[in-house]
A = this chain, B = another copy of it.
Amino acid sequence: MEFLTGVKEQETLELTTLLAGDYEGQSVKLNGAVHTIRDMGEVAFVILRKREGLIQCVFEEGVTKFELKDLKEAATVEVEGVVAKEDRAPNGIEIRLREIRILSEPSAPMPLAISKWKLNTSLEAKLNNRAVSLRNVRERAKFKIQEGLVRGFREFLYEEGFTEIHTPKIGAKGAEGGANLFRFEYFHRPAVLEQSPQFYKQMMVGVFDRVFETAPVFRAEKHNTKRHLNEYTSLDFEMGYIDGFEDIMAMETGFLQYAMKLLEKDYAKELKMLGVTLPNVEKIPVVRFDEAKKMVSEKYDRRIKNPYDLEPEEEHLIGTLFKEEYDADFVFVTHYPSKKRPFYAMDDPQDTTFTLSFDLLFRGLEITTGGQRIHDYRMLTEKIAARGMTEEGMEDYLSAFKYGMPPHGGLGIGLERLTMQLIGEDNVRETTLFPRDLSRLEP
């Protein structure tokens, strides 16, 4: 009987191993995709693309046992050659090729010049050719940074005693209700795609005290803007036994501090490639909603049109103001009006027209909504009634409260937006692997 005993040793070297060791003068084997070929006559530079970056290989007529004309860009290959120092090459080394073995070949020439430093093409073209455009090393670097943010979220919360949960995306009713739900038929019953794990994560606070989830959410909103998607990845947490909604903001601050350190440590190459300077997250200012509106109105001589909501322009100006006056990239805006928050938001006992809730703005854009939730069964059912809503379909959610729930709160962070603001992109589609919007359902 044959047995498998674990990960197979590879004959080929990874780039990280090659760069960490002293291989000068040694013959090594590598694999990768032919990123670009520069033919200089007697020699040619063959740049291989690997997951960790690019490596320059030198093809020499007569030395390399291969015909250069048989090598296509976008082929994948295994090569053998001698490592040499070369200051002008990426990472300071190159491989003097002896042999090339073709692993696979493309069937058509590339539709985009992915080997250019900056992909000189429209967002539409990039999205239409996603499988190809992301082979550009700067394009793909965005998603490594995105990975770092999700990793940071999970690692930090594990350390803080949170339990990871997986809640269903198909439900009978949405967490916030309303028109923004995708509806479909589930074995002859009406069903929706969940717009948030809100109800489920609250129910699980009664079980695990602290929970989190990193999963897709679905919004059937007819927004056509640079910052809206109809499907996105939501980083959600919910924590019990809080003293107030400030605990939630403090936990998010802790996450941001952890994530920035992780990016600095493990994603420095990608940050450099994209020219990203990490924001300062040592201290994040907190300002009341009404106060923030007033500050912006006064400083920028702007009339307050709607006292109950922040317009995108106002969010932007709050960002500008706090950057100018406090050198802050992030601002917590607190005490949003009750009428603009869902029924489960805890009203401020000092003035119930406001809630114990917050948004986190990052460079003038909302990336998080959170706050304390109502944990008392009677208070919750009374608020549902006061809003003219029905308890129908919420029996399971409400039962968690009927049978006791600790004071709690939580938040949801839009991963693609957070990545966009961190990298300095101006369209959330730039930091979404395969965006879904009003007009885009493919690829």
Chain A positions within 8 Å of B, measured between CB atoms, are 1-8, 12, 14, 16, 31, 33, 50-52, 72, 74-76, 103-108, 110-111, 129-132, 134-135, 140, 143-144, 146-147, 150-151, 154, 158, 160-161, 163-172, 182-187, 189, 191, 193, 200, 203-204, 206-210, 215-216, 218, 220, 222, 230-231, 233, 240-241, 243, 246-247, 249-251, 253-254, 257, 282-287, 326, 332, 375-378, 393, 396-397, 399-407, 415, 433-436, 438-439, 441-443
Contacts and interface: CB of A to CB of B under 8 A. Distances in A.
A166 B2 contact: no
B147 A4 contact: no
Contacts of A240: 76
30 contacts: A1-B286, A3-B285, A4-B250, A4-B332, A7-B253, A8-B250, A14-B161, A51-B210, A74-B404, A76-B240, A103-B407, A106-B377, A106-B403, A110-B403, A130-B396, A131-B207, A143-B163, A143-B165, A143-B208, A147-B163, A151-B158, A165-B433, A166-B433, A168-B216, A170-B182, A170-B193, A170-B218, A170-B231, A215-B216, A393-B442
Contacts of A253: 4-7
A131 B238 CA distance: 15
B441 A191 contact: yes
A108 B230 CA distance: 39
Given A7-B160, A187-B438, 20 more contacts: A3-B286, A4-B246, A8-B251, A51-B161, A52-B161, A74-B403, A74-B404, A76-B406, A104-B375, A106-B377, A110-B403, A134-B204, A134-B207, A140-B207, A167-B433, A167-B434, A170-B182, A172-B442, A186-B441, A396-B442
Nearest to A254: B7
A151 B172 contact: no
A111 B402 CA distance: 10
A167 B403 CA distance: 38
A contact patch SS: mixed
Contacts of A75: 404
Contacts of A405: 76, 104
B1 A326 contact: yes
Contact of A397 (B216, B251, B443): B443
Contact of A103 (B8, B165, B406): B406
A166 B286 contact: no
A441 B172 CA distance: 6
Contacts of A220: 187
Contacts of A251: 7-8
A375 B72 CA distance: 16
